[in-house]
A and B are shown apart, each in its own frame.
Chain A
Amino acid sequence: MSERYDSSEMMTVTAARALHNGQSCFVGIGLPSEAANLARLTHAPDVVLIYESGTLQTKPEVLPLSIGDGELCETALTTVSVPEMFRYWVQGGQIDVGFLGAAQVDKYANLNTTLIGDYTQPKVRLPGGGGAPEMATCTGEIFITLKHSKRTFVDAADFITTVGFGRDGTARDNVPNIGRGPTRIITDLCVMQPDTQTKELTVTSLHPGVTRAQVEEATGWAIRFAADLGETPEPDDHELEVLRDLKARTEKHHSEA
């Protein structure tokens, strides 16, 4: 790992680079929102950011704390009702990429944001599905970003809130009008993509300085590595500067009110 940046910055910059200029992106709060806005402020100025509160084509100066922050509405092209958001824009197929986080991701990229343990007697109750279950099936493809640990990357999710490829990798087979689902997962250690045949998540590039052993140690199943395993390109100075500015003014803004 370089002294120029830390592993969180490596993750956010890599996630940001996954978005292309001109794409429409449905953005989850937290790390996805940080990455999507970094993309907008660097290589993808015309990326269209959409939040589930109904704000279309929004350009927030600071990252929102909640999905419905006034900042999102004030900087949006327009704001639609929540039923219109989910019916016309998500279900209607207008969105290229859904950018999500999660509490748990499993081997087949299924996401759990509902609970840890048993449904009727949960060990930990999490917030639930929100906009994710339909975003994951109605958008063109899904990017997922979260920190890598054995607690978050599990063999089988306790609860499938939002489908990746199901319990056996076949959940999307022969389903009409369904998106491609998760196409890449960006963590602080590596990038993973589903195997083209089995859909099992496979490491396709390691971040600079990260070893296979580190990824194996932080993953709850016997993780596979692609035959042509690459090294993720490092962040450049401009990306780091823009990201740090964005985080600093966000921090300042949310500590004021």
Chain B
Amino acid sequence: MAEFLSLHDAVARYVTDGATVAMEGFTHLIPFAAGHEVIRQKKRDLTLIRMTPDLIYDQMIGAGCASKLIFSWGGNPGVGSLHRLRDAVEKGWPHQIEILEHSHAAMANAFEAGASGLPLAVLRGYIGSDLPKVNDQIKFIECPFTGERLAAVPAIRPDVSIVHAQKADRNGNVLVKGIIGVQKEAVLAATHSIVTVEEIVDELDVHANACVIPGWVISAVVEAPAGAKPSYTHGYYSRSNKFYKDWDAIARDREAFTAWLDEHVFAAGQDNGDTA
């Protein structure tokens, strides 16, 4: 049964130093408010998992929260590089981080395997790619029925997954709508989960096949209006493409980044003050 907590208390309880954390949302419903709370609470040594690290992990890596990143596409969508990620990988600032990179197909399968309680995911993948040479988490197995060579990757089993969604009812049942990414898989794969929502309502008002995550598989539900900005929440607000473009200049420069972090994350309390 989901507990209704403040963002501060949910992060303080479930995101511990050294934890493996997946904060998902496939360029939609990115849980920025929660990411900023992790930064404010100065969590350290996290293994961060996300298919598309996006600005949220660029900010958390730049703020020194991460020691390891598992990902499959690490750019600023439509704009270019994630400069804080690159600075950490290429120059070791603020410190060196280890990276493990996959393809999207492998990570999506690994989330699904985690949700399915399996130790591994099997896919027809990575044929001819150099990725298996640099990621020891990619292996190949032989199909016991056909003999076909298939890729295998370990299931993703985060200590805590954090996702954003449109709304929850008063029992903590959550509706996810639009581009649903791996939101449900991330929650089900994790030991603990935090779901931030735009609003808490009396009735979810859904059709029979809607993507609903039942409250009894969620650890904590947090009301966080605008909690995905500057990404977007389908039906509530659109993506601030301007912020994604502006981020390029902010993140290029360590001083500009640090000043931005001080003003828009540390000084902003629990408000998600980064929106354009």
Residue positions of A touching B, CB distance < 8 A: 29, 52-55, 64-70, 72-73, 79, 81-83, 85-87, 90-91, 110, 114, 119, 122, 125-134, 137-138, 159-163, 166, 171-172, 175-178, 254-255, 257
Contact = CB atoms under 8 A, between A and B. Distances in A.
Chain A interface, >50% SS class: loop
Given A53-B181, A81-B185, A163 B128 contact: yes
Contacts of B81: 125-127
Interface stretch (B33-41, B68-76, B157-165): B68-76
14 contacts: A64-B78, A81-B184, A82-B108, A86-B109, A87-B108, A87-B123, A114-B101, A114-B130, A114-B131, A125-B86, A129-B102, A129-B131, A133-B125, A162-B129
Interface of B: 26-28, 51-52, 71-75, 77-79, 81-82, 85-86, 89-90, 101-105, 108-109, 111-112, 123-131, 134, 148, 178-182, 184-185, 211, 232, 234, 238-242, 244
B185 A65 contact: no
B105 A163 contact: no
A83 B241 contact: no
A133 B109 CA distance: 14
Contacts of A254: 241
A128 B105 contact: no
A70 B177 CA distance: 11
Nearest to A163: B128
Contacts of B125: 91, 133-134, 137
A52 B182 CA distance: 12
Contacts of B232: 70
A163 B239 contact: no
A128 B74 contact: yes
A160 B112 CA distance: 26
A83 B129 contact: no
Contacts of A70: 28, 178-179, 232, 234, 238-239
Given A127-B81, A161-B131, A177-B124, 20 more contacts: A29-B77, A53-B179, A65-B77, A65-B79, A69-B27, A72-B179, A73-B179, A82-B51, A83-B109, A83-B112, A125-B86, A125-B89, A127-B75, A128-B74, A134-B103, A134-B126, A137-B124, A160-B130, A162-B129, A163-B129
B124 A138 contact: yes
Nearest to B111: A83
Contacts of A172: 128
A229 B180 CA distance: 47
A126 B178 CA distance: 29
A134 B123 contact: yes
A53 B26 contact: yes
B178 A85 contact: no
